[in-house]
């Protein structure tokens, strides 16, 4: 019996991973609450980040449903043209992109800004999954081809420069190697090569990137400048205590001591207002989401789906870990958004696409078994 490439709505409703869906919705709702509080607005207007995030949430929900209906197999079939389109977008970005915070990472479309590197994460996972069938990364030839193809993406991201996103792509690639069964000696060699290149990487970093790493080690090096963000974030997280100060009652966020509260340090806003209990609840939700994604990867018999799901799971895990750790001063500041939480249309839509692909794998895996 041939495999189906898409699903009917009745089959989707019967086989959807409801836990994954509900946890996704819960995290988004918590995120909107934190964004609303971070904005300090009592009313929802078109200028408020919370309302715009809800609008993006509606758009992302539609995109989620469309991808779920199309099916991950049809998306995988379009991996090559999607990869090519992403490369073209990245090149155009270096020519006509909008520069913000030292990085040329955005297309300014007037009514909105689009960050191609976010959507590129979805395409990256799809492309690696399709490539893994043609050239499995289980020997020197396969791994070399994977590194070459991935290197194109990562190099174009580094040229923006966007070190945070480049790290995400690298983590996704490493997760794909593990899922594809790459030999341990090759994985060890990649790790050793990475560490050996750190001195060279330090020499090519921009001054502000070097300062971020130095501030990670000791924020007091520049307490009124680069270290200010980390210091204020630590204060916000610590002052939340066990139960928090209450919704809209966080002093660091409400009095605007906390920089970038709706994006980079959204978890700090939430921590101050909902305390240790609230943070544990959110981390449990992320853990359940990642667990359901990993369960899907283990459950499916489709090799490509397994590779794709592994890449997407690594992306969500790394950004969650980095963003939460950054808020507490345990990780360097990279500007990576907290998935489903931080304000941003490009990030939210990309995460919705990635989760929809994983949900599609879950649905179609169940369909194939019955």
How many domains does one find in the chain? 1
Give, in order, the Cα–Cα distances in Å from 355 to each of 12, 134, 313: 14, 25, 9
**Residue 63 located in a structural domain:** yes
| pTM beyond cutoff 0.85 | yes
**Residue 216 located in a structural domain:** yes
**Residue 327 located in a structural domain:** yes
Please give the Cα distance from 244 to 279 (Å, whole number): 10
> What pLDDT score does 240 carry?
82
**Residue 211 located in a structural domain:** yes
**Residue 128 located in a structural domain:** yes
CB neighbourhood size of 83 (10 A): 21
Element (H, E) at 108: strand 103-108
**Residue 158 located in a structural domain:** yes
Region of residue 7 (phi > 0: left; psi between -120 and 50: alpha; otherwise: beta) = beta
Q: Which residue range forms the structural domain that includes residue 41?
A: 9-369
User: Length of the chain, please?
Assistant: 370
**Residue 21 located in a structural domain:** yes
Angle formed by the axes of helices 303-327 and 266-299, nearest 10°: 160
> What pLDDT score does 242 carry?
86
- Cis? peptide before 161, omega within 30° of 0: yes
Alpha-carbon dihedral 164, 176, 150, 116, rounded to 10 degrees: -50
> What pLDDT score does 211 carry?
73
**Residue 1 located in a structural domain:** no
Please give the Cα distance from 64 to 195 (Å, whole number): 38
> What pLDDT score does 158 carry?
87
- Which pair of tokens denotes residue 152? 């194109």
> What pLDDT score does 1 carry?
43
What's the CA angle centered on 189, arms 299 and 131, to 5 degrees? 45
> What pLDDT score does 115 carry?
87
Please give the Cα distance from 66 to 139 (Å, whole number): 37
From the first residue on, what is the mean pLDDT of each consecutive set of 10 residues in the chain (370 residues)? Answer: 62 86 96 85 68 93 95 94 93 83 73 85 96 90 91 89 89 93 86 78 70 73 72 82 84 71 86 92 96 94 94 96 89 86 92 96 76
Q: CB under 8 Å, gap of 24 or more: what pairs does 33-36 form?
A: 33/247, 33/270, 34/262, 34/266, 34/267, 34/269, 34/270, 34/273, 34/341, 35/262, 35/266, 35/343
Contact 327, 350 (CB under 8 A): no
């Amino acid at each position: 019996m041939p495999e189906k490439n898409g699903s009917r709505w009745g089959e989707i409703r019967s086989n959807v991973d409801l836990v994954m869906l509900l946890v996704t919705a819960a995290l988004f709702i918590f995120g909107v609450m934190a964004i609303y509080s971070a904005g300090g607005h009592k009313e929802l207007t078109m200028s408020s980040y919370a309302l715009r995030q809800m609008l993006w949430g509606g758009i992302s929900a539609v995109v989620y449903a469309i991808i779920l209906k199309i099916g991950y197999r049809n998306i995988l079939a379009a991996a090559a043209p999607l990869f090519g389109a992403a490369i073209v977008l990245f090149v155009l970005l270096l020519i006509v992109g909008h520069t913000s915070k030292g990085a040329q990472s955005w297309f300014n479309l007037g009514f909105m800004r689009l960050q191609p590197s976010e959507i590129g994460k979805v395409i990256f996972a799809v492309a690696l999954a399709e490539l893994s069938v043609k050239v499995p990364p289980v020997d020197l030839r396969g791994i070399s081809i994977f590194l070459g193809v991935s290197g194109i993406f990562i190099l174009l991201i580094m040229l923006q420069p966007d070190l945070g996103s480049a790290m995400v792509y690298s983590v996704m690639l490493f997760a794909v190697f593990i899922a594809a069964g790459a030999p341990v000696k090759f994985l060890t060699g990649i790790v050793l090569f990475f560490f050996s290149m750190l001195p060279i990487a330090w020499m090519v970093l921009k001054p502000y990137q070097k300062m971020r790493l130095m501030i990670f080690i000791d924020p007091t090096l520049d307490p009124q400048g680069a270290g200010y963000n980390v210091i204020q974030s630590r204060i916000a997280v610590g002052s939340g205590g066990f139960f928090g100060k209450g919704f809209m009652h966080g002093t660091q966020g409400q009095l605007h001591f906390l920089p970038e509260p709706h994006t980079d340090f959204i978890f700090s806003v939430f921590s101050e207002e909902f305390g240790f209990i609230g943070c544990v609840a959110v981390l449990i939700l992320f853990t359940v989401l990642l667990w359901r994604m990993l369960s899907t990867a283990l459950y499916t018999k489709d090799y490509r789906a397994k590779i794709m799901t592994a890449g997407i799971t690594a992306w969500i895990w790394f950004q969650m870990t980095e963003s939460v750790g950054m808020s507490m001063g345990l990780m360097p500041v990279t500007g990576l958004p907290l998935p489903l939480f931080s304000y941003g249309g490009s990030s939210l839509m990309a995460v919705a696409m990635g989760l929809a692909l994983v949900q599609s794998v879950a649905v179609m895996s169940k369909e194939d078994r019955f």
